Amino acid sequence: MLTNELRVFLSPPNMSGNEQKYINEAFDQNWIAPLGPNVDAFEEDLSSYCNVRSTAALSSGTAALHLAMILLGVNSGDEVMVSTFTFSATVNPIVYQGAMPVFIDSETTTWNMDPELLREALMHRKKNGNLNKVKAIVVVHLYGMPAKMAEIMEISEEFGIPVIEDAAEALGSTYSNKPLGSFGKMSILSFNGNKIITTSGGGALLANDDELIRKARFLATQARDNAPHYQHSHIGYNYRMSNVLAGIGRGQLEVIDERVKQKREVYSYYYQQLCGIDGIEFLEEPDGRFFSNRWLTTMIIDSKKIRVNREIIQEKLEKVNIETRPLWKPMHLQPIFKHYPKYLNSVSEKLFDVGLCLPSGSDLSDDTLERILGHLKEILIK
């Protein structure tokens, strides 16, 4: 196979080299368990990087969201306001608890939860006497772009409903110079294989409340009471991160700032090369408060101006072994979620129709970027 035919992936893992050192330590000390020195150190490193008091390293971002729901007491009959424009993992834990997701559409500048629509939804729930059922607002920072946090936190305070940040895609992003993940009552991160840093699979729950995180660790290790025998007064979960994988996380977190820089350079390259084409748009940072880690570069295609649509672009790039992907399909359009209440403005549906994620690996070489751009220009301009 020719080098220029090698597959280009959307966002492959990118190891720093130090991961192996921490894994070897775990092996040398025989700490092959879902706790140990790498877990402790990774938690401390995450707390300090995200500027929060406390972190629990867990088996996935989904597990972190599930524990957040449990810790807030979300139960059957309750409601949770949640971004509709996201990945299903944001919503599933609400349903695990028997609660009802209420979907909130996006605004056009960040593509994240529209604060005006959120307020409208809460006013409407209030009018119908349902406000006391609303236990949380789960706001997602999609593709690394911060949501409008000033407005959302204001609404959270006004209505007395806690915010959970789904920062699975947004480690390294900031809003008003504060790390994402430090705004909510609790926040979650994911270290799945495609995220900006990875432990192959993993996640974390963050909070400025030591007691909440202590409880999260307790529930995540089968909720064992303090007794000489196995005794349980709560339903427990097996959600802890293994000490081996936390070693990968430590090595990855050492290079997070470099990864953000690389991802932002990939975005700038596409932007500079393609923004002049009439009919192509990018997700720009609305103003100086918004700093995105640019986890994935996303592009909006106006097929009236370009004369090819998203599907054709995706197909043509696939033929030359370049992976792209449509934007997330909104949750209110998913067969499993479509019967839940929703507050819509058509923004997420339009984005889903015309948006494409471009290869955004932090290890993309200049040659590979040029190869992708060459194909893109040929498709878009011809």
Ligand X SMILES: *Cc1c(COP(=O)(O)O)cnc(C)c1O
Rule CB under 6 A: say whether 169 interacts with ligand X: yes
Q: Which is nearer to ligand X, 202 or 251 (CB)?
A: 202
Q: Which is nearer to ligand X, 180 or 380 (CB)?
A: 180
Spatial separation of the C-alpha atoms in residues 321 and 336, rounded to whole Å: 32
H and E: helices and strands count for the chain: 13, 15
Q: Which is nearer to ligand X, 180 or 274 (CB)?
A: 180
Which amino acid type is present at position 4? N
Stretch of residues binding ligand X (CB under 6 A), selected from 8-16, 81-89, 102-110, 317-325 = 81-89
Q: How far is the CB of 325 from ligand X (least distance, A)?
A: 12
Rule CB under 6 A: say whether 62 interacts with ligand X: yes
Rule CB under 6 A: say whether 140 interacts with ligand X: yes
Name the residue whose CB lies closest to ligand X.
61
**Which residues are bridge partners to 356 per DSSP?**
299, 326
Q: Which is nearer to ligand X, 102 or 196 (CB)?
A: 196
Rule CB under 6 A: say whether 166 interacts with ligand X: yes
Q: Which residues, at least 6 apart from 287, have a Cβ–Cβ distance to it below 8 Å?
A: none
CA 191 to chain CA centroid, Å, is 10
HSE-up (13 A, CA, CB side) for residue 115: 17
Rule CB under 6 A: say whether 60 interacts with ligand X: yes
Closest CA to 46 of 261, 293, 252, 263: 252
Rg of the Cα atoms in the chain: 21
Rule CB under 6 A: say whether 192 interacts with ligand X: yes
Q: How far is the CB of 84 from ligand X (least distance, A)?
A: 12
* DSSP assignment letter at 188: E
Stretch of residues binding ligand X (CB under 6 A), selected from 102-110, 162-170, 227-235, 366-374 = 162-170
Q: Which is nearer to ligand X, 203 or 251 (CB)?
A: 203
Stretch of residues binding ligand X (CB under 6 A), selected from 13-21, 165-173, 270-278, 353-361 = 165-173
Is the Cα torsion angle 313, 315, 321, 326 positive or negative in sign?
A: positive
Identify each DSSP E strand in the chain by its residue range: 54-58, 79-83, 100-104, 134-140, 163-166, 174-175, 178-179, 186-190, 203-207, 280-282, 290-291, 297-301, 325-326, 342-343, 355-358
Record the tokens describing residue 370, joined without a space: 């040029």
CB atoms within 10 A of CB 93: 25
Stretch of residues binding ligand X (CB under 6 A), selected from 85-93, 111-119, 156-164, 208-216 = 85-93
Q: Which is nearer to ligand X, 107 or 166 (CB)?
A: 166
Candidates 52, 68, 168, 380; binder of ligand X (CB under 6 A) is: 168
Rule CB under 6 A: say whether 165 interacts with ligand X: no
Identify each DSSP E strand in 186-251 by its residue range: 186-190, 203-207
Rule CB under 6 A: say whether 206 interacts with ligand X: no
Q: How far is the CB of 235 from ligand X (least distance, A)?
A: 20
Q: Which is nearer to ligand X, 59 or 314 (CB)?
A: 59
* From 135, 195, 215, 342, active-site residue: 195
Footprint on residues 299-318 left by ligand X (CB under 6 A): none
Spatial separation of the C-alpha atoms in residues 321 and 318, rounded to whole Å: 5
Q: Are 236 and 96 in contact (CB under 8 A)?
A: no
Rule CB under 6 A: say whether 190 interacts with ligand X: yes
Rule CB under 6 A: say whether 203 interacts with ligand X: yes
Catalytic residue status for 195: yes
Record the tokens describing residue 11, joined without a space: 């966002």
Rule CB under 6 A: say whether 173 interacts with ligand X: no
Candidates 13, 34, 36, 61; binder of ligand X (CB under 6 A) is: 61
**Which residues are bridge partners to 178 per DSSP?**
175
Binding site for ligand X (CB under 6 A): 60-62, 86-87, 89-90, 140, 166, 168-169, 190, 192, 203
Give the residue numbers marked as catalytic.
195
